[in-house]
Amino acid sequence: MRIEAEGTDLEQALDLFRVAYNGGGEWSGHVTDRDFSYRHTAVGDGDMTLRNTRFLGRICGEMAPEDDYVVSWVTEGYGFFDTAGEKKSLTPGLPFLFPTDRPVSFDMADVEQKLVHFHKPLLERVAAEHYGTAPGTLHLETAAPTESSVRAWRNALSLVSRTIVDADASAILRGEMARLAAVSLLGMFRPELTCLPPALLVPSHARLRVAVEFIHANAHLPITTTAIAATADLSLRALQEGFRRHLDVTPNAYLRQVRLDRVHEQLAQGAALTVAQVAGSWGFTHLGRFARAYQERFGEQPHQTKARVR
């Protein structure tokens, strides 16, 4: 795939970027004190694409989740991304990982932006091979990456980009470059690894393992025990008995534990939202019960976790 488009028409630019970045809702654009122009290029294949965007003007809108893991960074310009009320200002050179489970709104001006799109199956397969886990939806860290991991990412992308833009590069070489970039991405935004009890690694318990992995991958959604059982091809009774026998909890209790872990992770990363907002986003609407469960699991109150990162 090779795409190249440029021009000076604001409406054409908005139409182009709305399609290219899975735009949802209303997008708007305005001229700044610079002469307006835009440019968009993309090169790659079904596994990975490298994209470059220039928009000399102001652009606002919302991007819906898509079938890619996307990392972006700006080299020029200013603005912010907003994910569920948590704003992150654009820092030149610092990669930002788009969430895959909720839309992202943005407001940017006079930007030069680079993006790498990884098709979900590719990154999930590489992560499974790299960490020795089963393939599945990844829950990646969203905290700012370390300087060393960003350096490694830049070094990898320097080699990858030279190969991907070469029209004569073989499919095998392109595949290896996509894997190299994927491993580098995982070094910046590490996946949360599901530590399964040894009993679930036994082949005879494969369906129960599917149920557990489904919970970890979909904890942000309003899933039910019926949906969990159907995914694992188990009856409700078999699901309940399997969880009690091997995990000593019910499926619903296990789901609450996973959601508590996600709240803890978000607070420990310095979420801009309040404790109540973070808890509510993971389905905890009764703050008293939530605080007691949090204290029991982590040995401290949620506001104490949040206070440590100020």
> What confidence tens digit (pLDDT) does each residue in 263-291 have?
998 888 776 788 999 999 899 989 999 99
Are 226 and 252 members of one domain?
A: yes
> What confidence tens digit (pLDDT) does each residue in 187-205 have?
999 887 666 677 776 777 8
Task: Say if 34 falls within a structural domain.
Answer: yes
pLDDT the model gives residue 37: 97
Are 232 and 263 members of one domain?
A: yes
Q: Are strands 2-7 and 38-44 parallel, antiparallel or unpaired?
A: antiparallel
Of 120, 146, 169, the domain-final residue: 120
pLDDT the model gives residue 193: 67
**CA-to-CA distance for 246 and 205, rounded, in angstroms?**
10
| Residues 149-175, mean pLDDT to the nearest whole number | 92
Of 96, 120, 144, the domain-final residue: 120
pLDDT the model gives residue 266: 83
| Residues 161-189, mean pLDDT to the nearest whole number | 92
Are 109 and 209 members of one domain?
A: no
pLDDT the model gives residue 306: 87
Are 94 and 141 members of one domain?
A: no
Task: Say if 236 falls within a structural domain.
Answer: yes
Task: Say if 193 falls within a structural domain.
Answer: no
Are 11 and 101 members of one domain?
A: yes
Ramachandran area for residue 229 (φ above 0: left; ψ -120 to 50: alpha; else beta): alpha
Of 188, 222, 238, the domain-final residue: 188
Q: The tokens of 297 are what?
A: 């699991």
Are 9 and 109 members of one domain?
A: yes
Are 112 and 127 members of one domain?
A: no
CATH of the domain at 270: 1.10.10.60
Average pLDDT, the chain: 89
pLDDT the model gives residue 85: 72
Q: Is the pLDDT of residue 35 over 80?
A: yes
Proportion of the chain above pLDDT 70, given as a percent: 95
pLDDT the model gives residue 199: 72
pLDDT the model gives residue 16: 94
Report the amino acid identity of residue 151: R
**CA-to-CA distance for 233 and 208, rounded, in angstroms?**
9
CATH of the domain at 46: 2.60.120.10
Task: Say if 127 falls within a structural domain.
Answer: yes
pLDDT the model gives residue 296: 93
Task: Say if 130 falls within a structural domain.
Answer: yes
Residues 235 and 217: beta-carbon distance below 8 Å: no
**CA-to-CA distance for 190 and 260, rounded, in angstroms?**
19
Report the amino acid identity of residue 52: N
pLDDT the model gives residue 194: 64
Task: State the total domains in the chain.
Answer: 3
| Residues 249-272, mean pLDDT to the nearest whole number | 88
- Annotate 138-198 with DSSP letters as a single string: --B--SPPPHHHHHHHHHHHHHHHHHHT-TT--HHHHHHHHHHHHHHHHHHSPBPP----G
Are 242 and 202 members of one domain?
A: yes
Are 78 and 18 members of one domain?
A: yes
Residues 260 and 305: beta-carbon distance below 8 Å: no
Residues 260 and 302: beta-carbon distance below 8 Å: no
> What confidence tens digit (pLDDT) does each residue in 72-129 have?
999 999 999 988 777 889 999 999 999 887 889 999 999 999 999 999 999 988 988 8
Q: Name, in order, each residue with C-beta under 8 angstroms of 180's C-beta and a sequence gap of 6 or more.
A: 156, 159, 160
pLDDT the model gives residue 310: 60
Are 157 and 217 members of one domain?
A: no
pLDDT the model gives residue 202: 72
Are 225 and 266 members of one domain?
A: yes
Q: Is the pTM of this model over 0.85?
A: no
What domain range is 41 assigned to?
Answer: 2-120
Are 127 and 111 members of one domain?
A: no
**CA-to-CA distance for 172 and 251, rounded, in angstroms?**
43
